[in-house]
Amino acid sequence: MMRAPKLRELAEAIKSLLARPATVGFPKEPCHVYEGFRGKPEFSEISCVGCGACAEVCPANAIIVEDDKITESKNSNFVRRLTVRYDACNFCGNCEAHCITEDGIKLTMEYDLAVPDRQLAREFIEHRLICCELCGTVLTTIKHLLWIYYKLGPLAWGNPNLMVTAQREMLPVEPGLPGEMLRRPDIFKVLCPKCRRNVMLNDMNG
């Protein structure tokens, strides 16, 4: 005659056979993800201004910032490309937490990130750059400068770069050639810190 513990085990085995599996049938069925899940990071075309702060705080170096070289093209094609490599991402959420606009990059609910080639595991966004009009040094993106301008309000009028950029209504400026003569009106150009210092010194000392 079968003992009681054996009967119990048999009942459990039959119950398990008839019950639904405890694990999810992924990839045949989608998984249910809960609020707060940290999946694939994605840039927002609207809110990202291209400042690059997210790349600075990424512990996995999963965000790459690349600026076009000034010698190759004039300003109209001059862009900053931010690429997030989600094959390198550890989903820590630092980029989202430290984004200056708060919504420029978000960790989405997307969890199915398998790709046949790692090179495909990336998303990017591009922004037009603004450069020093005298030496061509990259300052930042036009969108970033305008974001600062609106953030500062009337205080922005104390900074010629912000003022000139806002007045030009986001029109790209032609980068100058290194060694161009410094003149007083150059104060009212978009300049990198080094050129602005030189222009101010030239203005003061003649």
Does 139 interact with ligand SF4 (rule: CB under 6 A)? no
Contact letters (x/-) for ligand SF4, 52-71, by CB under 6 A?
xxx---xxx-xx--------
41 preceded by a cis bond (ω within 30 of 0): no
37 near ligand SF4, rule: CB under 6 A: no
Which of residues 40, 75, 78, 95 is near ligand SF4 by CB under 6 A?
95
> CA-to-CA distance for 29 and 187, rounded, in angstroms?
63
| Tokens 């989202």, residue located | 96
For residues 145 and 130, what is the distance between their CA atoms, to the nearest angstrom? 8
Nearest residue to 133 via CA among 198, 84, 54, 62? 198
Told to check if 113 binds ligand SF4 by CB under 6 A, we report no
In terms of CB distance, is 80 or 189 closer to ligand SF4? Answer: 80
Q: Quick one: which segment of 15-23, 85-93, 130-138, 152-160 binds ligand SF4 (CB under 6 A)?
A: 85-93
DSSP code at position 73: S
149: contact with ligand SF4 by CB under 6 A: no
Return the range that interacts with ligand SF4 (CB under 6 A); candidates 17-25, 46-54, 67-75, 114-122: 46-54
Here the tokens at position 26 are: 């992924």
Query: Which of these, 87, 91, 98, 85, lies nearest to 54 by C-alpha position?
Result: 98
Residue with smaller CB distance to ligand SF4, 141 or 161: 141
Residues making up the chain, counted from first to last? 206
* Residue ranges that bind ligand SF4, judged by CB under 6 A: 41, 43, 48-54, 58-60, 62-63, 82, 84, 89-95, 99-101, 104-105, 107
